[in-house]
Structure 1
Amino acid sequence: MYRFLLSRQWVILTLVTLLLIPTMIELGFWQLHRHQHRVAQNERISAALSAAPVPAEQLTSPGHTVTGEQRYRRVTATGTFDTAHELVVRRRTNSDDTIGFHVLTPLVLSDGRALLVNRGWIPADGAQTAFPKIPAPAGGRISVTGRLMPDETSAASGIKDVRGLPPRQVMLINSAREAKSLDRTVLGGYVELTSPAPHSGGPEPIGRPDHSSIGPHMAYAVQWWLFAAGVPVGWWVLVRRERRDRTEATAKAEEQPAEPATV
């Protein structure tokens, strides 16, 4: 009755079906793990943003790599802005996706070390070849608060670290590289400035990271598992249909009268 399952065509179809089931189950768990990672990441960001600010020197030091747990932690620092060594970071967008610069200003601390501070976004007026006009920060000794961020890399950001740019322009923020140009010790990572608020006409502050979305990964996981459950059902439907078609064909062949033999 089901001997057709031993045919080459049905053996191949059955093997493909058996391969698809565990593959789809594994893809479902992969999406589930991505969902869990996203939820955990959002919880870390929320905890970092809601934690009380601490001095930057407690979390970072020269050559330190800012960890995932430290990212977005609110930190404070007191010093004097060194506008003479101010840089701009090219091809950065604001909340309206307008291309411009991020303004990177070293904050010289009381012990002579420096902390890179991203003061915010300014528009790019025309070609990005000349150093733009940047509103000056507050003069004298100042206390700032911001979000601690890791040094940027091409691998993490997808931004190519182009060299040979116009003076005082960079593609990525890198504390080790800036330490060489400043000829002073620089704390690892940098800070996105949140306080004090810029004066009118100053750089546009960088918005808080969006950590509310969990993405579609859980829905994708459920879909893969439903597909895995549907594969054997579909295989069985095809088997039943094939058996029915073969039974009907056999019955019709038996009902046909035998032709008389020719004399």
Structure 2
Amino acid sequence: MYRFLLSRRWLITLLIALLLIPATIRLGFWQLHRHEARVDRNELIAQALTAGPVPFDTLSTAPGFAVPKDLTWRPVTATGQYDPAHEFVVRKRTDSSGDKIGYFVVTPLVLADGGGTVLVNRGWVPSASSAAEYPTVPAAPAGQVTLTGRLRADEAASGSVKDRAGLPDRQFTLISSTQQAKESGAALLGGYLELTATEPAAPADQPELLPEPNHSDIGPHMAYAIQWWLFTAMIPVGFAVMARREAKDRRKEAAEAEGPAVAVPA
């Protein structure tokens, strides 16, 4: 009764099942690797955040310096004076809750020791009434200040982020020391500082400081991996159930075709 498995329809079904099994196994391992990468990233961030702060210019040593992953989020300090003339905002950024769209305020800090200039992300401000208008930005503290923050790498353009062309004056889509060095001609150290504290203390009306990155969420990737592997196990089981049901239906149809037995008179 299982000779129907040699039919074209069932051979195609079997072929699809055989192709799905390695595909779903591979998808499961893909999600597992994403889980492992997320865990490694969280551990790297946690280690960086708990390290002692060091001067910014001891890590970012030159213009165009590419901040490596193991230094990203590292606490850093910088002493100097803000350069408000070259301040700019970065569009389409959310506040700490992630609910409101606004701008990051980025102000260069000229280092006191003459070691160059550092971009400082001073925090978030809400959008203006019009996207073409420059938002209301609290003035950066005057005089010499000592800042503490997190070392960040330059943001790189992606397929969804376009260059500055067409944007209003002093509005950008990325925080990039390389881009700003071309705009201002200043010797900007690579990367930037994400502000967490100012000494002397800044006025209360300063931009909203950014929170630490979430390094405890491991995401759903492990659950997705298990789901794919469960689906892998279900493929042969499902094929067997379908074949068994088909055989049962064929036996029933054959029995009905024979009809009831007719009694022969003696």
Residue 92 of structure 2 aligns to a residue whose secondary structure is strand
Amino acid at match of 1:166: P
Shift of 1:203: 1.0
Classify the secondary structure of the residue corresponding to 2:251: helix
Asked if structure 2 preserves the Cα contact closer than 8 Å seen for 1:91 and 1:99, the reply is yes
Whole-Å Cα distance in 1 between the matches of residues 70 and 245 of structure 2? 57
Structure 1 residue 92 and structure 2 residue 98: aligned?
A: no
Q: How does 1:62-101 map to 2 (within 5 A)?
A: 62-96=63-97, 97-101=99-103
**Residues 174-213 of structure 1 aligned to structure 2 (within 5 Å):** 174-196=176-198, 198-213=202-217
Amino acid at match of 1:253: A
Asked if the contact 2:81–2:145 (Cα under 8 Å) also holds between the matched residues in 1, the reply is yes
Q: Which of 224, 227, 230 is equivalent to 1:226?
A: 230
1:141 counterpart = 2:144: yes
Amino acid at match of 1:16: I
Q: 1:162 to 1:244 in 2, by over 3 A?
A: same
Q: Hey, what's the Cα distance between the residues in 2 that align with 1:98 and 1:220?
A: 30
**Does 2:132 correspond to 1:129?**
yes
2:116 is aligned with 1:113: yes
**Contact kept? 1:91, 1:100, Cα under 8 Å:** yes
Q: Is 1:160 the counterpart of 2:162 in the alignment?
A: yes
* Residue type at the aligned position of 1:213: D
Give the conservation status (yes or no) of the 8 Å contact 2:128–2:134: no
1:45 equivalent in alignment to 2:45? yes
Aligned residues: 257
Deviates more, 1:235-244 or 1:186-195: 235-244
Contact 2:89 2:104 (C-alpha < 8 Å) held by counterparts: yes
Query: What is the RMSD computed on CA atoms of the aligned residues?
Result: 2.0
d(CA) in 2 for partners of 1:11 and 1:99?
A: 55
Which string of whole-angstrom CA distances, capped at 9 and with x for unpartnered residues, describes residues 123-178 of structure 1?
A: 2232233434432232222211111111112218x332232333222221111121
SS in 1 for 2:186: coil
Q: Secondary structure at the match of 2:174?
A: coil
Kindly provide the CA deviation profile for residues 66-116 of structure 1, in whole angstroms up to 9, marking residues without a partner as x. Answer: 222222111111111111221122222212422222111111112151000
TM-score normalised to structure 1 length = 0.90
Equivalence for 1:261: none
Matches of 2:222 and 2:32, distance apart in 1 = 6
TM-score, normalised with respect to structure 2 = 0.89
Give the letter for the 1:183 counterpart. Answer: G
Query: Is contact 2:128-2:136 (8 Å) kept?
Result: no
Q: Which residue of 2 aligns with 1:15?
A: 15
Percent of matched pairs sharing the same residue: 53
Give, in angstroms, the shift of residue 257 of structure 1. 5.8
* Preserved contact between residue 49 and residue 74 of structure 1 (Cα < 8 Å): yes
CA contact 1:112–1:184 (8 Å) conserved in 2:
no
Alignment correspondent of 1:238: 242
The reply to whether residue 3 of structure 1 matches residue 3 of structure 2 is yes
* Structure 1 gap segments, 5+ residues each: 259-263
DSSP-derived class of the 1:155 partner: coil
- Residues 1:30 and 2:30 aligned together: yes
How many angstroms apart in 1 are the aligned matches of 2:100 and 2:43?
29
Task: Give yes or no for contact 1:119–1:203 (8 Å, CA) kept in 2.
Answer: yes
